[in-house]
Amino acid sequence: MSEADVDAPTGFDAEHAPAPDVAPALALDAAVLRSRFAELDLTAEAGAAGELRVSLPGAQAIQLLRGLHADPGPARCRLVDLTAVDRGNAVDPRFEVVYRLRVDAPEEAANGAVEEAVEETVEETVEGEASGAIVATSLRVHAGVGWNGSEREPSPGVESVVSLWPAARWLECEVRELFGIAFAGHAEPSRLLLDPGLEGFPLRKDASGHEAPGAEDAR
């Protein structure tokens, strides 16, 4: 398997090493995530089947996702899915952009050397903290995006993650197309699923389901 991830730290680099007060943890759980990203305003709770549900404000999402993309330790993730939920006008924030991430197993995230190092720390860590915690194998990040309805699109939305995971390209296009949530820095938003003449955002709760075709089509 090739290690083509340019963003991954190679070798020990004092400048980019994780903060020294963060103990090398074995596995990802809610407590580890909170301590890794202590500066963010996030809540994390364990869900079913090893899934960790994280929610935070949309403006901070990119910091968390960048960290999860480049994490050398247990919190290294890759993108499985990206979508949105519209909870309706009565709820604030109305929209959530949902990122589903898979936690890469240690042998996938790094190579054998790191695995050995992890094994050495097994006993200490298990005795110390995180005993009984549920190990997360996947993450679901809900990034809240508020909208006061005065503009066509919620602003600010969230930042694009295409530079982290190329798979996000079409996924972000789709959310933009169906929900009208813009992704800052997304290079080429294009129509994927809908007719070019269709106006409105069909997956918004206030969409009628019978959107009028645009003027071009009506003619």
Q: What are phi and psi of 167, to 5 degrees?
A: -60, -20
Could you identify the residue written with the tokens 């939305």? 157
Binding-site string for another protein from residue 85 to residue 124, where x marks contact by CB under 8 A and - marks none: xxx----------x-x------------------------
Determine, following the binding rule CB under 8 A, whether residue 203 of this chain makes contact with another protein.
yes
> Are 61 and 168 within 8 A, CB to CB?
no
Task: Name which of 3 and 217 has its Cβ closer to another protein.
Answer: 3
Tokens at residue 75, please? 């919190």
Closest CA to 98 of 54, 67, 137: 54
- Which stretch, 34-42, 82-90, 115-123, 127-135, contacts another protein (CB under 8 A)? 82-90
Half-sphere exposure of 131 toward its Cβ, with a 13 Å CA cutoff? 7
Q: What are phi and psi of 69, to 5 degrees?
A: -70, -40
Contact residue for another protein among 40, 70, 167, 200 (CB under 8 A): 167
How many residues line the site for another protein (CB under 8 A)? 37
Positions touching another protein (CB under 8 A) are 1-5, 47-51, 53, 78-81, 83, 85-87, 98, 100, 137, 140, 165-167, 169-170, 178, 191-194, 202-203, 207, 209
